[in-house]
Amino acid sequence: MLADEASPGLAIVILAVFLAFRYLLYPTLLSPLARIPNAHWSSPISRLWILGIRYTHRENRILHALHRSLGPVIRVGPNELSINGIDGVRTVYQGGFEKPDWYSVFDNYGVPCMFSTRPAAEHSARKRSISNIYSKSYIQSSQSASAQGREILYGRLLPKLLDSTSKMQVPHGIDMYSVFMATTMDFISAYIFGIENGTNLLHDEALRDHLLEHYKARSDYSVFDQELPRLTWLCRKIGIPFWTVDAANKELGEWCMRLCDVTKKASIMNNPSATEACDEPVVWNALVGGLAKETKTSGSSSVLYPTALTNVDLSVASELFDHVLAGQETVGITLSYISWRLSQSMDLQADLRAELLSLAPNMRLDRDESASMPDPKQLDALPLLHAVVMETLRLHAPIPGYQPRETPELPCQIGPYLVPGGVRIAASAYSLHRDEKVFPEPEVWNPTRWLSSDGDGEERKKRNRQFWAFSSGGRMCVGSNFAMHEMKLIIAAIYSNFTSHIVDDAGMSEQSDGYTGRPVHERLFLRFERVV
C-alpha cells in the first residue's frame, strides 16, 4: 500500500529532477556551449529571445551591438551561435559547414535547387554545371550578354528616363526602386531564357507590380517556415494556412514554369546555330546540358539529385525560379542605394561621369539616341565606379542578415571554444561590414575608402577579406560576377547621359533588418536631367 502511494510522487520528483537537469542545469552550466557569452540570460535555455528579435526585425542591429561588448562568438539560443570575427567566418564558410534545414523554404515545387541543397556533394555537382556561365571571363566575352544588355539599356531603360525628363511627371520624378527592380528582372531573365522569352517588366508595369507584391509577401512571411517548421507544418495540417506565402509561391511558381515551358518549346523548334545572340537562353542551356551529362555518366542509379534525373523539368524550373529571385531583388536594392547616394552629391556625379566618358567607346548617346556598349574589361577596371558599387554593397548590403550553417559531427574550434556537432552557427554582412578597425566610421557612406592605396596593400587586403556581401566559401553567391557587371553597366549607361536629383527619398535611410534588407518604403523618386 505504502509503496503504491509513494511511487507516483517519486516518479514526479524524478521527472522534475531530470527535466531540470536536461533543460536548465545542463545547458546553462555543463554544455560545451556554456562557456560562451550569452546574448541574453535566457539564451541557454530558450529560443524565445532570439525568435522575438528576429520576428520584430531587430536581429542584425542587436546582435551587432552585443558582439561589440561580448566578443566575436556569442550564444543566442540553446543550440545556436552568432559569430562576427573573420577567423570564425573562415572556419565555418570556407570550411564547408553545411546549410541547415532553414534553407528548405527555398525548395521550389518541392524540389531542391542549388541554393537550398544541404549535402555538400549534391551541391557541388550542381554548381559545377552552372558556375562557368556565371564566371567573370564568360560574362565579359559573352555575345549574348552584351546583346541583351544593349537591348535592355538602349531599347527600354534609357528611353524611359528620357521620357521622364520631358513629360508632366518631372515634378514628381520617377520611382527608380520600381524601375530598377524591373531592369534587373529583365537582365537576369534574358540571360536565363533569352531576351524574347524573358520578361519585359520595364514596359509591362502591371505585371511588374503584381510580381513585386508576391515577392514581398514571400519574403515577409517565410520566417515562420524557417524558424518554426514543425509548428507551421502542424498549422497547415489542421487547416490554418499561411495564405500570403502559399498563394505567392503558387502564383510565382506557375509564372516561372511558363517561362521554362516557352524556352523549352523554342529550343526544340529553333536551330541553335541560327538563333540570334540575344535570344540564347544561356543559363537554361547550361543547366539542361549539365543534367543530361549527369544522367549519361551516372545513369538512373545516381545518388546526386535523384529527382533531378527523373523529373528534369521540375528541377530546371526549381533552379531557375531561384536565380530569378536571387538575381533580381538583390541587384535592384543595390542600384536604388547607389543612385540615392549619387543623387546627394553633384560633385561625385561629375567625377563619375568624367571617368565614364573616358571609356572608349563610351555610353554617351549620340544625336539619334543610339550608343555603344563599352568594353567589359575596361568598364570593370574603372576605379571610382568600382568604389561606388563596393561601398554601397558594404553599407547597404542587400543580404545583411545571418546565413546559418551547422557545425559538422566532430567538434570544431571556433575562436577559443570547442563547439560540438549539430550547432547552428551564423555570421552576417551587417556586422562584418561595420568593423571600425577595417572600415573607420562605418556608418558613413564613403566610396573613397576603396580608393586609398596604401604602400604594401595590407589595408586593401584587409578590406577585401572583410567584404562579405556575396558571402564566402563553397556556398558563395554564384551570381556575383553577373551582378557586378550588370550594376556597373546600368550605372554607366545612366550617368553617362543624365544627372539625377532627389524628389522624394522617404524611407531610404532606413533599411529593413532581416535576411534581406530593403529600403523600408520600397520606393525612391528621382528626377533626371539630360547632360548637355
Ligand X SMILES: *[C@@H]1O[C@H](CO)[C@@H](O)[C@H](O)[C@H]1NC(C)=O
| Residue 432, phi then psi, degrees to nearest 5 | -60, -35
HSE of 402, CA atoms in CB hemisphere, 13 A: 28
Nearest to 204 by CA among 219, 220, 189: 189
Determine the 3-state secondary structure of 97 from DSSP: coil
Provide the minimum distance between the beta carbon of 427 and ligand HEM in the complex, in angstroms, as a whole number. Answer: 10
Provide the minimum distance between the beta carbon of 257 and ligand HEM in the complex, in angstroms, as a whole number. Answer: 18
Identify the H or E element spanning 530: strand 525-530
Q: Would you call 241 exposed, middle or buried from its count of C-beta atoms within 10 A (0-12, 13-18, 19+)?
A: exposed
Provide the minimum distance between the beta carbon of 84 and ligand HEM in the complex, in angstroms, as a whole number. Answer: 15
104 binds, among ligand HEM, ligand X, none (CB under 5 to 8 A by kind): none
Among 43, 82, 249, 330, binds ligand HEM (CB under 6 A): 330
Helix axes 243-269, 312-342, angle to 10 degrees: 110
Alpha-carbon distance of 351 to 294, in angstroms, equals 50
List, in sequence order, every residue forming a beta bridge with 174; answer none if it has no partner: 526
Q: Would you call 153 exposed, middle or buried from its count of C-beta atoms within 10 A (0-12, 13-18, 19+)?
A: buried
Alpha-carbon distance of 513 to 430, in angstroms, equals 9
CB-CB contact of 257 with 317 (8 Å): yes
Among 471, 504, 516, 523, binds ligand HEM (CB under 6 A): 471
Q: Which is nearer to ligand HEM, 323 or 353 (CB)?
A: 323
196 binds, among ligand X, ligand HEM, none (CB under 5 to 8 A by kind): ligand X
Q: Which is nearer to ligand HEM, 395 or 469 (CB)?
A: 469
Among 91, 197, 249, 334, binds ligand HEM (CB under 6 A): 334
Q: Which is nearer to ligand HEM, 192 or 503 (CB)?
A: 192
477 is in an annotated binding site: yes
Helix axes 205-227, 229-237, angle to 10 degrees: 110
Provide the minimum distance between the beta carbon of 223 and ligand HEM in the complex, in angstroms, as a whole number. Answer: 14
197 binds, among ligand X, ligand HEM, none (CB under 5 to 8 A by kind): ligand X
Q: Tally Cβ neighbours within 10 Å of residue 347.
A: 7
Q: Any contact of residue 478 with ligand HEM (CB under 6 A)?
A: yes
Query: DSSP per residue over 381-403, as a string?
Result: T-HHHHHHHHHHHHHT-SS-SEE
Provide the minimum distance between the beta carbon of 142 and ligand HEM in the complex, in angstroms, as a whole number. Answer: 14
Among 54, 218, 394, 475, binds ligand HEM (CB under 6 A): 475
Among 115, 177, 340, 467, binds ligand HEM (CB under 6 A): 115
Q: Which stretch binds ligand HEM (CB under 6 A): 34-42, 215-223, 287-295, 321-329?
A: 321-329
Provide the minimum distance between the beta carbon of 131 and ligand X in the complex, in angstroms, as a whole number. Answer: 24
Q: Which residues fall within 8 angstroms of residue 299, CB to CB, at 6 or more apart?
A: none
Provide the minimum distance between the beta carbon of 94 and ligand HEM in the complex, in angstroms, as a whole number. Answer: 13
531 binds, among ligand HEM, ligand X, none (CB under 5 to 8 A by kind): ligand X
Q: Which is nearer to ligand HEM, 323 or 433 (CB)?
A: 323
279 binds, among ligand X, ligand HEM, none (CB under 5 to 8 A by kind): ligand X
532 binds, among ligand X, ligand HEM, none (CB under 5 to 8 A by kind): ligand X
Window 423 to 452, contacts with ligand HEM (CB under 6 A)? none
Point out which residues bind ligand X (CB under 6 A): 194, 196-197, 262, 266, 270, 275, 279, 353, 364-365, 367, 496-497, 531-532
Alpha-carbon distance of 465 to 468, in angstroms, equals 8
Q: Would you call 26 exposed, middle or buried from its count of C-beta atoms within 10 A (0-12, 13-18, 19+)?
A: middle
Q: Which is nearer to ligand HEM, 189 or 343 (CB)?
A: 189
Window 359 to 418, contacts with ligand HEM (CB under 6 A)? 398-399, 403
527 binds, among ligand X, ligand HEM, none (CB under 5 to 8 A by kind): none
**Local structure of residue 56 (DSSP, 8 states):** T
Measured CA to CA in angstroms, residue 123 lies from 99, 195, 405 at distances of: 10, 28, 14
Provide the minimum distance between the beta carbon of 260 and ligand X in the complex, in angstroms, as a whole number. Answer: 12
Among 114, 152, 338, 494, binds ligand HEM (CB under 6 A): 114
Alpha-carbon distance of 84 to 482, in angstroms, equals 27
Q: Which is nearer to ligand X, 264 or 518 (CB)?
A: 264
Alpha-carbon distance of 201 to 183, in angstroms, equals 7
425: which 3 cell numbers? 552557427
| Residue in this structure with the C-alpha cell 515577392, named with its chain if needed | 215
Residue numbers belonging to the annotated binding site for heme: 477
Residue numbers belonging to the annotated binding site: 477
- Give residues in contact with ligand HEM (CB under 6 A): 114-115, 127, 188, 322-323, 326-327, 330-331, 334, 398-399, 403, 469-471, 475, 477-479, 482-483
